[in-house]
Amino acid sequence: MGSEILRFLTGLWVICAGAESLAAQTRRDTAASSLQQTLDRWFRATARSAPGEWGIAIADLEGRLLWGVKPTRPMVPASTVKLLTTGFARSILGSDARRSTRVIGAGHLDQASGTWIGTWALEINGDPTLEGSSSQGGTRLTDLATQLAIRGIRRLTGPLALASAAGAADASFPSTWSPRHQGRVFAPLVGNLTIHDNLVSATVTPGARIGRRVAITAVAPQGIDQLFTVTATTVDARRSRLLVEPQANGGYHIARTIGIRSRPRRVVRTATDPRAVLEAAWTGALKNAGIEWSPSTGMGGGALASPSVLAEMSSPVFDSIASEVNRRSHNLGAELMLQWAAGYAPDPARRLTAHVEQVTGDYGTVRLVDGSGLSDENRVSPWTFVSYLARFPLAPGGKNFPMLLPANGSGTLWKLTNGLRQRGVVRAKTGTLGNVASIVGYLGRSEGVLLVSLMYNGRRVWAARQAQWRLFRQLGAEGVVIPSDSVDATGQMGGEDR
């Protein structure tokens, strides 16, 4: 009798389990059908409002394609390349890697006068946070100067010498970037010689009366006041007609007029001579620390034999840098991360391409020539992107990878707020050029995380971007926050929202 009851209960359990499994499959099929209908309707409208080349791949967390439009078409990706650069650099460097900026010297300190006797140099190593313009903090020259003062140094002599632990202590305009970008604030010089994003800025205010010369009330980085020559005057007007021109000595001339009823104007320009900017900022930092510097005398220049570290500051950890690079879509920072990870090889983008091919298994459509996506010679397919999103978090160095991308409502996703109940439903990277609107990333839903790659190449960039926002709002209307440990070893969602 007991065995019969056991067989009955076992059969009943099998029937219930089968029914539950069938119900779950029915729910999945219904959700998939609803997703298909939503995407079909969206693309019909989008193809009318933003005609051009579209490449789209939408996949589940394991990388299975759910819906697409020419998903294997190689397209210009713009700044979504930074997502790939982030993964490559993190896999090489690790999440806790840092860049150091040092004062190195060979000699000794004269205790009586506080003078450093011997050679010294600033060792700069491409720290993208050195005197950074971001509110996230970073390395400051004043901290280095303060360390020198604590050692008892009160006087330095000799010209500024620059060194680097790897690569050259200079900066240049990347040959892979279009010349049309040169001089624009989003395309500064790139290299180990980086300070304040290799940008300079000045806040200009009207004079006290009409006819008076305008005043500079703030500069960045600190201490570069001497680089600005001002001849602009105050006029009876509300508007400003300022002209800022670079000079041969690395400085800037501010001319023309500003209205007396005008608000203060902040002017930003690329640093045409980062060395001049660094020298001016270093002068100010030493002065603030109570250190006298006589650049025209002494032994500051030349090669250093067996130098020791006199002062040292380290950048924030790699993950902090990468998060900020992606949040701001910072081209300089992305190129520095690529150089750093590739060991200053002659063609670092070739190593980036090889990394993406290895992770995704796509050896036919990937062509990368820079780490920022500013070049219109880059080519990546939507399918490659979703494959990377699915696979890299499972690779060494990939843990918590989605958290390095901006969340909806922040950074370049700041407009992606209406329709999404909370921040963290989306983790994605945008890309924009004159003929490109792309967005690639993760979208959290109760049915599971979607991997989304929406790529547009064409003339209707604004319309394409608005359509992309609309789709994310539709798909994420009932979205869930993507947890920090988004993918575990089995490829399933897991972890806690930290």
Domain assignment present for residue 227? The answer is yes
Domain assignment present for residue 390? The answer is yes
Q: Helix %, strand %, coil % for the chain, to 5? A: 35, 25, 40
Instruction: Report d(CA 427, CA 405) in Å as an integer.
Output: 5
Task: Identify the pLDDT of residue 487.
Answer: 52
The CA-based angle 121-127-131, given to 5 degrees, is 85
For residues 200 and 190, state if they share a domain. Answer: no
Residues 121 and 163 sit within 8 Å (Cβ to Cβ): yes
Angstrom distances, CA of residue 247 to CA of 72, 193, 252: 48, 19, 5
For residues 310 and 409, state if they share a domain. Answer: no
Task: Identify the pLDDT of residue 331.
Answer: 98
Domain assignment present for residue 211? The answer is yes
Q: Which of 87, 40, 56 has its CA nearest to residue 382?
A: 56
Q: Which residues contact 125 (CB under 8 A, 6 or more apart)?
A: 99, 100, 101, 164, 165, 166, 192
Residues 74 and 83 sit within 8 Å (Cβ to Cβ): no
Q: Which of 306, 326, 325 has its CA nearest to residue 315?
A: 325
Residue that terminates a domain, selected from 256, 288, 316: 316
Residue that terminates a domain, selected from 270, 294, 327: 270
The CA-based angle 354-181-467, given to 5 degrees, is 75
Domain assignment present for residue 25? The answer is no
For residues 181 and 124, state if they share a domain. Answer: yes
For residues 346 and 428, state if they share a domain. Answer: yes
Domain assignment present for residue 24? The answer is no
Question: Which helix (DSSP H) or strand (DSSP E) does residue 203 occupy?
Answer: strand 199-205
- pLDDT tens track of the chain, all 498 residues? 555 655 655 565 556 555 556 554 554 555 577 899 999 999 999 999 999 999 999 999 999 999 999 999 999 999 999 999 999 999 999 999 999 999 999 999 999 999 999 999 999 999 999 998 765 678 999 999 999 999 999 999 999 999 999 889 999 999 999 999 999 999 999 999 999 999 999 999 999 999 999 999 999 999 999 999 999 999 999 999 999 999 999 999 999 999 999 999 999 999 999 999 999 999 999 999 999 999 876 655 555 778 899 999 999 999 999 999 999 999 999 999 999 999 998 899 999 999 999 999 999 899 999 999 999 999 999 999 999 999 999 998 999 999 999 999 999 999 998 888 899 999 999 999 999 999 999 999 999 999 999 999 999 999 999 999 999 999 998 899 998 765 543 333 333 322
The CA-based angle 452-458-459, given to 5 degrees, is 130
Task: Identify the pLDDT of residue 494.
Answer: 34
For residues 300 and 264, state if they share a domain. Answer: no
Task: Identify the pLDDT of residue 299.
Answer: 57
For residues 251 and 346, state if they share a domain. Answer: no
Domain assignment present for residue 418? The answer is yes
Give Cα 189 distance to the centre of its chain.
15
For residues 126 and 226, state if they share a domain. Answer: no
For residues 334 and 398, state if they share a domain. Answer: yes
Q: Largest Cα–Cα distance in the chain?
A: 109
For residues 201 and 259, state if they share a domain. Answer: yes
For residues 400 and 309, state if they share a domain. Answer: no
CATH number at residue 169: 3.50.80.20
Domains contained in the chain, number: 3
Residues 381 and 75 sit within 8 Å (Cβ to Cβ): yes
Domain containing residue 234: 196-270
Domain assignment present for residue 327? The answer is yes
Task: Identify the pLDDT of residue 30.
Answer: 56
Could you tell me the sign of the dihedral formed by the alpha carbons of 408, 460, 65, 351, in that order? Answer: negative
For residues 189 and 201, state if they share a domain. Answer: no
Q: How many CB atoms lie within 10 A of CB 453?
A: 29
Q: How many CB atoms lie within 10 A of CB 281?
A: 25
For residues 161 and 212, state if they share a domain. Answer: no
Angstrom distances, CA of residue 40 to CA of 60, 382, 455: 17, 17, 16
Task: Identify the pLDDT of residue 53.
Answer: 98
Residue 269 bridge partners (DSSP) = 200
CATH number at residue 459: 3.40.710.10
Domain assignment present for residue 214? The answer is yes
**pTM (2 d.p.):** 0.89
